[in-house]
Chain A
Amino acid sequence: MQVPEQDTVPESAARWVGEFLRRRQEQIAQRWADAELFRTVFTVSRDEAVEACKAVLDALSAVAAHGALENVAAPGFGPVRDQLGRMAGSRSRAGAGPARVADEVAALRGPATALLRGEFEDPSSEQAHECVLALTVLMGTLRLVVMETALGEGEQLIERQRQQLLEVATPVINLWHGIVAVPLIGTLDSARSQVVMENLLDAIVTQQARYAILDITGVPTVDSLVAQHLMKTVAAARLMGAECIVSGIRPAIAQTIVHLGIDLGTIPTRNSLADALAHVLRQQGIAVSAGAPVGAVPR
């Protein structure tokens, strides 16, 4: 036996709202399809928007029928969670921030409430008041569900982009027969250094490379952790039978390394990628000489 507290929605009102959402699904869906949230996401056809609205109304109706108005995790939301996530994702890609999306969800309450009031002969009656309250609570819960899925989408998006960045930003280039190089660009953190190391070592095997060049011309700063990773990469390459050369250490970075007290003395270094390549070619006994001039030379 439950004693209703003040402002608590009686179960009968929740059930009534559930039944109302089912009965008036078509009318509400027609109104929601014009609301910003649905209109901007489902741009192909209005029918598509109406269908999406109906799916959400089905879910809301099921949740209300079970009296679980405030339960964000109610099983009734299950079937539309994916759809809501895609909608939130689509809005955020269009530049709408979470607060904006929340407002757009909140804006759906108006049209539904107006229809609900119309169901009662006396909109100021106790029962009408309870039902409006039930719908308000339910729509508040929907807003939370959308926010939740939107945040989940955002996290997934960030994670996906992070992974892509790691892959894209660390290509291993086959410079010459038996010579591979990694031109590093941007800030190196621990995860990326790890990826660079593994990619380079794998390339040494697949390319049968006796020389590997790590070019850090495009790296703005080197802290002690990154310097350690560089040294570990060089040491691991040596264990495999390849010589690893670090090129492009800019003066500022060289100073930082000295200030950090890191001893890079055991690592072969060269000023530039070109110097490193020339050194490696010499080591292999390959002479590169300037041939006859070609290209944009006036005759």
Chain B
Amino acid sequence: MRVSHHTVRACLPIGSDSDLAWVRQHVRRVAAESGFGLVQQTKLVTAASELARNTLIHGGGGHVEVTALEDGSAHGLRLSFVDTGPGIRDLDQAMTDGYTTGGGLGLGLSGARRLVHDLTVDTRPGQGTTVTIVVWATDMPRPRAEP
């Protein structure tokens, strides 16, 4: 991916229930500012919520780095969820629908991947996990309001 310009927008802690809510609100705001449509905003916030919860529950807490991307006229966002937890032992299994160790529906990683343009996982046993997602604002014509 050719990215000509980027700026780090924010670094938010993930250590509690209310931090998750704060991450959702913050991601919603920067997505709107980056020109994301309502559906795209919702998809991104939902993906961020899934991954932040992973960081909290499986990684024992960490932080998320929000970066604004620019490539020509295209605007995007990169979110990196970083923890220093136990790492993911079997990544293939973790990326499978329905696999869970945390009591959810097992859709955290695999579900988030379907909501974004790109998802990469960097994990080392005993050292931690970084999950990075990238989303680009797609230009969608808005439906005209009916009279």
Cβ A195 vs Cβ B141 within 8 A: yes
Do residues B141 and A167 form an inter-chain contact, with CB atoms below 8 A?
A: yes
Q: Mark B29-55, 1 if CB is under 8 A from A, else 0.
A: 000000000010000000000000000
Q: Which size class do A's interface residues fall under?
A: 10 to 19
Bound Cα distance A207, B145 (Å): 11
Asked whether, in the complex, the Cβ of A206 is within 8 Å of the Cβ of B146, the reply is yes
4 smallest beta-carbon distances between A and B, as pairs: A199-B143, A167-B141, A166-B141, A163-B141
Contact with A along B109-147 (1 / 0, CB 8 A): 000000000000000000000000000000111011110
DSSP class of A's interface residues: helix, strand, loop or mixed? helix
The reply to whether A198 and B146 contact each other, CB–CB distance below 8 Å, is: no
Instruction: Tell me the total A-B contact number using a CB cutoff of 8 A.
Output: 24
Check if B141 sits within 8 Å of A203, measured CB to CB: no
How many whole Å from A185's CB to the nearest CB in chain B? Answer: 17
Residue from A163, A166, A167, A207 in contact with B144 in the complex, judged by beta carbons closer than 8 Å: A167
Flag whether A194 is at the interface (Cβ < 8 A). yes
Are B139's CB and A198's CB within 8 A?
A: no
Residues of A within 8 A of B39 (CB): 198
Closest to A201 in B: B39
Q: What 0/1 pattern do residues 148 to 174 of A give for CB contact below 8 A with B?
A: 000000000000000100110000101
Complex-state Cα separation, A15 to B145, whole angstroms: 59
> In the complex, A242 Cα to B16 Cα: how many Å?
37
Q: How far is the CA of A203 from the CA of B143 in the complex (A)?
A: 9
Q: Which residues of B contact A191 (CB under 8 A)?
A: 140
Q: Which residues of A contact B (CB under 8 A)?
A: 163, 166-167, 172, 174, 191, 194-195, 198-199, 202-203, 206-207
* 24 A-B pairs whose Cβ atoms sit less than 8 Å apart in the complex: A163-B139, A163-B141, A166-B141, A167-B141, A167-B143, A167-B144, A172-B143, A172-B146, A174-B146, A191-B140, A194-B140, A195-B140, A195-B141, A195-B143, A198-B39, A198-B140, A198-B143, A199-B143, A202-B143, A203-B143, A203-B146, A206-B145, A206-B146, A207-B146
Q: Which A residues are in CB contact (< 8 Å) with B141? A: 163, 166-167, 195
- Please give 7 more A-B residue pairs, beta carbons under 8 A apart, in addition to A163-B141, A198-B39: A167-B141, A167-B143, A191-B140, A195-B143, A199-B143, A203-B146, A206-B146
User: Which residues from B are CB-within-8-Å of A166?
Assistant: 141
Residue of B whose beta carbon sits closest to that of A170:
B143
Q: Smallest distance from the beta carbon of A161 to chain B beta carbons, Å?
A: 12
**B130 CB, nearest partner CB in chain A, Å:** 30
